[in-house]
Structure 1
């Protein structure tokens, strides 16, 4: 077992002043008889050998992470890596064996059953791979269902349901039943149902993995559109790195129940902490994750630029333009300040998967 401490994204944390919404600290989920006493005996730090001797299974092992308000935080790994168990621990759908989980400073592991029910009903939204729609209810009724559980009167809950129906693009289908909808439309109903309670934090566990590739991409675009409007704090589980690249602010990679590395997609691809992370990201096109800032050189005196790009713009987004004009592009900060320049040759090297000399960059 890799026993290193989870790697923090110190660079991102230092520049991101948004408050921490969700804190997960040294969380374990161990299956087997006497698991809690076992962890206490080992002070919350058993080795894989200790677990094996005790005939216990560590589904999640000393997991620590921080999710900031409004962040798209992706947890990913292969099947059996512990990612789904971890997200269920974060909402206490699965009871953690050890550790601390806080939502806005509230210790969820100390919350009473009644307190936890209220938190889930009013502050959390959850969407899973299987839509779990109620087949005997219409779209409107399915979306309004969690509000009826809250005791919201019918007129109010239906008004709120109609609002989110319009938000997710299902207007005109209010009276359809799930069997009359496509897979993508059914998942939109699931998303709308979770949004109807106006959650502060949104847990999505591989919500698009059962969809066809084209519909899946449409749903990813829909999620990004919704997030641009709603600014939710999102914890999203996936095993698809291309999906993570498209959606994530930061990514945590899991293996054998452990968080191996946390970082932006660019950091994970360019600076993998372990051989496992390097192998996991090996086939990712660097132009999709590398920003102009990571490739830029110092500004040239009296340069004749062929265009301007933002520091955070991905190389794939402007590669055709810069190669087409065969002139350097100026890289600017969000406030318009010049930061450096990107050359067509460096972009071509990235597209051809050749390393660009680091000493040439800022």
Structure 2
């Protein structure tokens, strides 16, 4: 009896996991402390405990809350956020996970068109909203809804697996109900579930903002500014490509618009959060702006920080004082999203429809998830 694709996939993934586990057991300081913990689990622990960094000491972890202590600590030291090593690692995990999901979707015999992708759009937003709940929990301290270690489920990149599990449960449940005759198709019920999750999550944040004594505020002007900039950037990109490079959208259609909008949101949220917060919130005479430089937020990803540093070193002060230093990130996101959309030729959907749809999902999630989180984080002041 030959090896089936599912069996081959499980054997390959299982062998890789066992090899990594064996390395952690046989060479704990090198493999676990110096690689797994340093680049992947340590940043999550530091973030979950609101520490500036975490230090691996023997079999335990120490959390530090001052820059001087972190600078003086002996390696391995992990700081919240991503590094180039961790981002490459997560890309590898994403590709492996996509392969497994394709096998699952084949078994369920679904996801052969972009309607499935569109039905999942609310779940991309839900991921960012759920991450903002963890941000609010950090500010709530003892009253946190998800205390440590449960809050690690809501911290990047673990939250991607959390949202994936929720979405997978929703997909399987809606497919089963539809095939049992409860619904006429599963796309609409799946869409409703995603919208309902967002109503609950964002509703919880809004309720906190209305509760006296909580550190959660509500700045509608930030939300409006982010959505307006997102809409303008998306419309401009869509119009320009439709007019001068219509071939870009031949394979994706309306799904391509969603991809561009997702990354426009990520870029716009960075511009508003990093450059406009002080003006939008501070000048309004409302509660103090979230912590950052001059009332603005600070970049959390290496790419964001690198682009901001590049802007500050290249552009003249008069331009920086007028437009800020984060707007090139928005341009980069729009160009990258357009380039990705152009890759999805019509033949890709004809030859490998499930793989194409899953790539659309992955590309959109890595834009809309962080973008939603940054937008809501600034909107609710957390």
TM-score range, shorter chain: under 0.3
**Radius of gyration: which is bigger?**
1
Q: TM-score, normalised by structure 2?
A: 0.26
Structure with a larger share of its residues in helix: 2
Structure with a larger share of its residues in strand: 1
